[in-house]
Structure 1
Amino acid sequence: MLEIDKLSLGYGEQRIVNGISLKLEAGVCALLGPNGCGKSTLLKGLAGLLAPEAGEIRLQGRALGRWPRRELARQLAFMPQQPTAPDEIRVEQLVMLGRYPHLGLWRRPGQEDHDRVGWAMRLTGVADLAGRQLRSLSGGQQQRTWIAMALAQQAGLLLLDEPTTYLDWGYQLETLELLRELHQEQGLSVLMSLHELNQAARYADQLVVMREGRLICQGSPAQVLRRELIAGVFGVDATISRDDEGYHYALARGTAR
């Protein structure tokens, strides 16, 4: 679906991502690594918001830079870590913004657009909040509304930068469960950056680990959650276990010395 070939990204003279190559298949993938390792920069590059300094990104075999913006928006949707919207915007209005790639310059939303918005709001559990102002919602409800907007976009790939940031524990799990369900029931592929290793291991099929702008490893949670890797990348001494359902998780014992 998405291929990254010797990709380097940066801002001005500061290089953040250095020569990363990997292939992302359909599914749910979590991007992991310490703060400042380049996760957000990589996601911006994959969303077409940051031009490569070197290397190439290919979506469905076609270089990302060769996709017209409107056509690209029909293929992938990007949700930044701190999305913003006008203070007075209502839930249904925000979700309708996801229909922009399907509207011509002067075309007003038609019945198909309203149907798609209704479908996205029902799927994410915010249909009853359609008339509410976004700012009046809880953090979890706001996150669901942003995801509904991405669903209304009808893209097959959703890129999310730290979708659980600033949410309490229950809303974090609710958001991750929703993303997992959207993949299983709607075929949506998800690439998201996360901080919490155990949440990533439970809800993602594949994990990608970065450090200092470079790719360290890619694989299943069982392949990636290893004591030596966690010590080397995160500086944490951890034991690795598996629960009754077969999910792997890491239990921190302290910092790695």
Structure 2
Amino acid sequence: MSEITAKSSKSTGALSARGERARAGLKEAALAVLEREGYHKMRIADVTGEAGVAQGLFYHYFKDLKSLTLEVLTDFSMASNDPAQVEKYVSKGDWYARIYAHNLVVVRTYAKRPGVMRSLLQLADEDEVFSSMLRANYRNQLMWLVDLMPKLFPDVHFRKNQSLMVVYSLAGIGEGLIREYFINESKTLRAADLSVEQFAELLSTMFYRALFLQQPEEKKLKYTRNLTAMVRTY
């Protein structure tokens, strides 16, 4: 259990199986309310109403609304964070597939839970410990590539921390786009009407091009196949 989760849970001792189910039900309900109403509008009555339990039961399992929110959003942000699991079905040495697998997880999360992702950002603005956890989580998601950069490009002779700076720069390519598309629902961007797979392909192709200075294999692409011709000719 993470430090945030441990601190935010009310100390009630060992719970019965029924108690564990009730607590899990409140967390599941909170996730649904966060998606629908957002962090700033959520009330305890909303959570207990969603869970179908009496409002007084809430305090048997949680200290207050923020402690519940911290625990729910911490658990949510830590899910699917293991590179080995993300790349479970990726062939060894297939770099485009590796990049795509990671982007697909991110895009699916934003597409399925845009309200929760917005709540994550809102809570991070208000809680420094939670914000630090999110930043550390993000950094850990990138370290698999950071550690491989010197081996991928031995002739570069990366200076101290340079590979970290390069990977962070590349990872930021689609960050603003994702937020505008899924959270802010920009009408201009939404007109593209991309599927989750198309969106992940776009991010992966641009990342791959920036990292390797070449287009991924054409047979791997659908939405971005025409970008093969996107080269400067003058």
TM-score calculated relative to the size of structure 2: 0.27
Larger helix fraction of residues: 2
Which structure would you say has the larger RCO, counting Cα contacts within 8 Å and 6 or more residues apart?
Answer: 1
Larger strand fraction of residues: 1
- Answer with 1 or 2: which has the greater Rg: 2
